[in-house]
Amino acid sequence: DAGVIQSPRHEVTEMGQEVTLRCKPISGHDYLFWYRQTMMRGLELLIYFNNNVPIDDSGMPEDRFSAKMPNASFSTLKIQPSEPRDSAVYFCASSLGGSMGFFGPGTRLTVL
């Protein structure tokens, strides 16, 4: 298996623009997690899905953030409008059964 795939690997955008991050989980995994990593706050869980259904989005910082999982092999995290404080590395992870986390390579987002 290719592991968790994320795109793009790097994104530079200007404040106010919409940003969409994409994730393809490991085939057969039933859990998908979105994390954000910053120097100040470390690794934070934003949202997770089970069988494509959002289970817990309490970590989503505000309404500017939204996540979808239209099918078992694809998820998106959208930020609209983006702000400089959203600059971070965003990780997607997937798991079979929820108690394991295989991470993607991350997307480094820079909002100018």
Partner 1 sequence: AQTVTQSQPEMSVQEAETVTLSCTYDTSESNYYLFWYKQPPSRQMILVIRQEAYKQQNATENRFSVNFQKAAKSFSLKISDSQLGDTAMYFCALCNFNKFYFGSGTKLNVKP
Q: What is the contact surface with partner 1 in residues (CB under 8 A)? A: 31, 33, 35, 42-43, 45, 48, 50, 55-56, 89, 91, 93, 95, 98-103, 105-106, 108
Nearer to partner 1, 57 or 66 (CB): 57
DSSP 30: -
* Shortest Å, Cβ 81 to partner 1: 26
Nearer to partner 1, 39 or 62 (CB): 39
Q: Which residues have C-beta within 8 Å of that of residue 99, sequence separation ≥ 6?
A: none
Nearer to partner 1, 35 or 65 (CB): 35
Kindly provide the b/e burial profile for residues 81-112, where b requires at least 16 CB atoms within 10 angstroms of the residue's own CB: ebeeebbbebbbbbbeeeeeebebebbebebe
